[in-house]
Structure 1
Amino acid sequence: MCGRYASTLPPEQMAELFKLLNQLEMVPRYNIAPTQPVVAIWEEAARREAHFARWGLVPRWVKDPREFPLLVNARVETMAEKPAFRDALKHGRCIIPASGYYEWHTGPDKKKQPYYITHADGRPMALAGLYATWVGPEGEEIDSIATITVPANQQLSEVHDRMPAILEGDAIEQWLDVRSVSARHANQLALPLEDGALKFHPVSTRVNSARDDDPGLVEPVALEKPEPPQPRKKVAGGGAQMDLF
């Protein structure tokens, strides 16, 4: 899954890169977590604009968002059939600009080591996502999003078995074009990137806390080396057979 990411692209560069008709005032973020407001891009009435939205999809048909489970990710294998996602796949596709994302690798000792993952050439990412606008009984509105995950490519499987769907080039245009591009075709755009397209390095476990949000979180750290095995002590008076145990 994708549960944390960074987004540091300046508003004017974001507008130019993604052909936006607006700019949002925002500060660089290095540890964006679920339930927080994020920047998402979608097209509505032929206008492509950036919006602030809650990370955690709330479908239109939900009665009370406070009683609805947190939907952070949508799996590409099932999103076309899941009631929570299928309408958004047809009418509410979006992209989420990111500088990189975090994933946790569980080692043999069950400890989880976070890694920061970026494009190999350092350029910004366009994460494939779904959005919905929930309207409450008093007319209040909540825009919300979920990121889409796909099976990890061989390179990223060293860290985790899933990765976000990252769109490039014409795939971005087709994904956002909900008027002309069907949900079935859009579903086929969400694919793992090829091996070598991304790079990753271990980072501080400070990223585990959403309260920490600073440039140091994306800096590489050295992994602790496991202690070398200690030689076995022979039992005094033991024979060769005892030394085997």
Structure 2
Amino acid sequence: MCGRYASTLPPEMMVELFRLLKGVEVVPRYNIAPTQPIVAIWEQEGRREAHFARWGLVPGWVKDPREFPLLVNARVETMAEKPAFRDALKHGRCIIPASGYYEWHTNPDKTKQPYFITMANDRPMALAGLYASWMGPNGEEIDSVATITVPANPQLSEIHDRMPAILDGEAIENWLNVRDVRAHHAAQLALPLEDGALKFHPVSTRVNSARDDDAGLIEKVEVQKPEPRPRKVAGGGQLDLF
């Protein structure tokens, strides 16, 4: 599960890399947490723009977002079936620019060690996501997103059994093209990256607090190498009701 990430890409570079018609002004963030506003990119009527959206998807059919569970991640295995995600998979696909993300390894003594995970070539990440727009009875509107998770590749399974779906090149184009690429074919783009595509290092447990947000959070600290985790059978997980 991806529950924290960093995004330090300058706005002008984001416009260039992702071919945006319109960007947004942002500052470097090192500890982005659920429920916070994040930058997401999607296409509408052929226009690809960056938007601010709440991290935690709220489907349009929800009556009161305050009474709805927090949907931070959508599992690739079940997102096409669950009412909370299936419409967004058809019409609301997006990407979330990131510099890297955090994951926690559970040690034998049940303590958890955070790791910062980045692309091995140091390029920015494009996390696959889903977005929805909720309209309230008084005209209020909430744009919200969820990131998509896939089974971890063997390299990342040393830390956790899940990882975010990370897109690149033509996969980004097809994922965002909701006009021509059907949900079934788009879902096949959300795959684990191959071994060696990512690198990771342990970081301070300060990242556990969303109140901390500084460049020191992504710096390497010295800890013992994590013991390999047993692979889990797919299925179960977050909010199977939806």
Give the TM-score band, short-chain normalised. over 0.9
Amino acid at match of 2:55: W
Query: What CA deviation, in whole Å up to 9, does each residue of 1:171-203 have, x standing for no partner?
Result: 000000000000000000000000000000000
Q: Over alpha carbons, which structure has the higher Rg?
A: 1
Provide the C-alpha distance between the structure 1 equivalents of 2:209 and 2:95, rounded to a whole number of angstroms. 25
- Aligned residue number for residue 240 of structure 2: none
- Aligned residue number for residue 139 of structure 1: 139
Deviation at 1:68, TM superposition (A): 0.2
- Aligned residue number for residue 235 of structure 1: none
Q: Which moved more, 1:21-30 or 1:190-199?
A: 21-30
Trace 1:192-207 onto structure 2 (pairs within 5 A): 192-207=192-207
- Specify the SS of the correspondent of 2:175: helix
Provide the C-alpha distance between the structure 1 equivalents of 2:97 and 2:117, rounded to a whole number of angstroms. 14
Q: Which moved more, 1:198-207 or 1:19-28?
A: 19-28
Trace 1:73-152 onto structure 2 (pairs within 5 A): 73-152=73-152
- Aligned residue number for residue 213 of structure 2: 213
- Specify the SS of the correspondent of 1:51: strand
- Aligned residue number for residue 230 of structure 2: none
Deviation at 1:223, TM superposition (A): 1.1
Query: What CA deviation, in whole Å up to 9, does each residue of 1:54-85 have, x standing for no partner?
Result: 00000000000000000000000000000000
Trace 1:23-38 onto structure 2 (pairs within 5 A): 23-38=23-38
- Aligned residue number for residue 13 of structure 1: 13
Deviation at 1:18, TM superposition (A): 0.1
Normalised by the length of structure 1, the TM-score is: 0.91
* Structure 1: gaps spanning 5 or more residues: 226-245
- Aligned residue number for residue 232 of structure 2: none
Amino acid at match of 1:221: V
Amino acid at match of 2:10: P
Amino acid at match of 2:79: M
- Specify the SS of the correspondent of 2:25: coil
- Specify the SS of the correspondent of 1:54: strand
Provide the C-alpha distance between the structure 2 equivalents of 1:21 and 1:215, rounded to a whole number of angstroms. 29
Deviation at 1:217, TM superposition (A): 0.2
Provide the C-alpha distance between the structure 1 equivalents of 2:146 and 2:216, rounded to a whole number of angstroms. 26
- Aligned residue number for residue 178 of structure 1: 178
- Aligned residue number for residue 232 of structure 1: none
Deviation at 1:219, TM superposition (A): 0.2
Query: What CA deviation, in whole Å up to 9, does each residue of 1:17-50 have, x standing for no partner?
Result: 0000112111000000000000000000110000
Provide the C-alpha distance between the structure 2 equivalents of 1:218 and 1:59, rounded to a whole number of angstroms. 33
Provide the C-alpha distance between the structure 1 equivalents of 2:139 and 2:47, rounded to a whole number of angstroms. 23
Provide the C-alpha distance between the structure 2 equivalents of 1:55 and 1:76, rounded to a whole number of angstroms. 17
Deviation at 1:134, TM superposition (A): 0.2
Structure 1 outlier segments of 4+, above 6 Å: none
Normalised by the length of structure 2, the TM-score is: 0.92
- Specify the SS of the correspondent of 1:85: helix
Provide the C-alpha distance between the structure 2 equivalents of 1:6 and 1:120, rounded to a whole number of angstroms. 16
Deviation at 1:130, TM superposition (A): 0.0
Provide the C-alpha distance between the structure 1 equivalents of 2:183 and 2:149, rounded to a whole number of angstroms. 16
Aligned residues: 225
Amino acid at match of 1:151: P
Provide the C-alpha distance between the structure 2 equivalents of 1:75 and 1:46, rounded to a whole number of angstroms. 27
Provide the C-alpha distance between the structure 1 equivalents of 2:188 and 2:26, rounded to a whole number of angstroms. 32
- Aligned residue number for residue 242 of structure 1: none
Amino acid at match of 2:207: V
Go from structure 1 to structure 2 and tell me whether the alpha carbon gap of 1:196 and 1:64 turns closer, same or farther (over 3 Å shift). Answer: same
- Specify the SS of the correspondent of 2:83: coil
- Specify the SS of the correspondent of 1:84: helix
